[in-house]
Amino acid sequence: MPDLALNLQSLQNALAACAPKGHSPALLAVSKTQTAQRVAECAALGQRAFGENYVQEAVSKIMALAMLDLEWHLIGPLQSNKCKTVAEHFDWVQTVDREKIVPLLAQHRPARFAPLNVLIQINIDEEPGKSGCSPEAANRLADLIDSFPRLRLRGLMAIPNPAHSTNGMAFERMQALYRTLQQRHPQMDTLSMGMSDDFPVAIAHGATLVRVGSALFGPRPSHSEDI
């Protein structure tokens, strides 16, 4: 079993080492396929924010670990029929990419909770069949999200094509789009990009939140996406 304490400390050191002066990117621990016990062990080391790809798997962990007061992010594709469940259990949704799901999330966000934090997922390389809206559609989607009081527009998220991430090209385009949208939506403060293999490059291009799984919890089975 990987040494969580050692891995987490190594990641924190790496984030600090590659962060520009005055810029402290946050770590999102990608806990998909991990047990609730494993998440609890990581939380005991001080990690508070966790990212999940699959709604039902995540909800079971969220309920089991409710006493720990963790921060839960949905980072997998969101189907419209899961919007109610997501709005009722998650703190953040990083994968809003079409107008249809925006009013559904707002409608089902319980009044007793703070507004749901939302990131717009951008298909920055405009890959066919990949989740995320086009860069050109981001402004209209941002305006729509911002019109619902039960939602809070926080920024952008992307999973670039690996061929365009390691050299920084996609991250550079994301940073430019983020800055442009910030002029219209100054409350935006989160640029979620960078994973286990490329987070130093993402941070160099303004990432404020990096999503790391395998470098923290260890390798997943070969059929799992290496985040």
In a domain, 8, yes or no: no
| 47-74 residue pLDDT tens | 999 999 999 999 999 999 999 999 999 9
User: Considering the chain, what is the average pLDDT of its residues?
Assistant: 93
In a domain, 204, yes or no: yes
Identify the pLDDT of residue 222: 47
The span from the CA of 206 to the CA of 153, in Å, is 18
In a domain, 194, yes or no: yes
In a domain, 163, yes or no: yes
Quick one: average pLDDT of 30-48? 96
Residue 20 binned pLDDT confidence (cut-offs 50, 70, 90)? confident
Residue span of the structural domain in which 156 resides? 79-217
- List, in sequence order, the alpha helices (H) in the chain: 4-18, 36-44, 55-64, 83-89, 101-108, 138-146, 162-165, 169-184, 199-204, 214-217
The span from the CA of 202 to the CA of 211, in Å, is 11
In a domain, 123, yes or no: yes
Query: Would you give the DSSP letter of residue 133?
Result: B
Radius of gyration of the chain (CA): 17
In a domain, 202, yes or no: yes
CB atoms within 10 A of CB 180: 12
- Residue 54 to residues 43, 58, 132, 159, 207: CA-CA distances in angstroms? 20, 6, 17, 17, 24
Question: Number of C-alpha atoms within 13 angstroms, CB side, residue 175?
Answer: 16
- The gap between the terminal CA atoms of the chain, to the nearest Å, is 18
Whether 156 and 178 have beta carbons less than 8 Å apart is answered as yes
In a domain, 2, yes or no: no
**Domain containing 121 — which CATH number?**
3.20.20.10
Say whether pTM exceeds 0.85.
yes
**Domains contained in the chain, number:** 1
In a domain, 115, yes or no: yes
Span of 5-9, 19-23, 85-89 with lowest mean pLDDT: 19-23
| 97-115 residue pLDDT tens | 999 999 999 999 999 999 9
Closest to 127 measured CA to CA, from 99, 101, 97: 97
